[in-house]
Amino acid sequence: MAVVKATEEDVRLLARLMRAEAEGDGQLGMLMVGNVGVNRTRARCLDFEDINSLRRMVFQSPGGFEATQKGYFYQRARQKDINLARKTIKGNRYHPASYSLYFFMPQGECPEQWFGQWNTGRYKSHCFFAPDESECPNVYGTY
């Protein structure tokens, strides 16, 4: 069962986003980007109070993803990307992105905080950051 509403077009958009942002980090890296996207759609806090659909999350500006804002969101969703997107939409979580709302690729080490969120870990080239549970309880809610 899905933890966020998703049409087939939404699934493909999320799959494209996951590919654009993390294809170089492999399938697990792409799944973690999917976690961040689903978390942003569920959050209703911080920069994501008005993000109530996958489409709005993918194209959020400002505060959204570099792939859609800087022009490298052009590759189609392959079937394997779509399958990965479905896993995150079903609520599968992958540490360190389980409850993250942000990630980025630093030049060096991951900073302790980013946009006021604590670092939850690094996977390959990306650092992940999650809010405090009291700040964004919907992110931590059970499915």
Q: What is the mean pLDDT of each run of 10 residues along the chain (143 residues)?
A: 94 97 97 98 95 96 88 90 98 97 95 94 98 94 73
The model's pTM is 0.96
Measured CA to CA, the distance from residue 23 to residue 19 in angstroms comes to 5
- Rounded to 10 degrees, what is the CA torsion of 86, 104, 23, 95? -50
Q: Which residues face 129 on adjacent strands?
A: 102, 119
Domain residue extents for the chain: 8-140
Tell me, what DSSP letter sits at residue 63? S
May I ask the CATH class of domain 8-140? mainly alpha
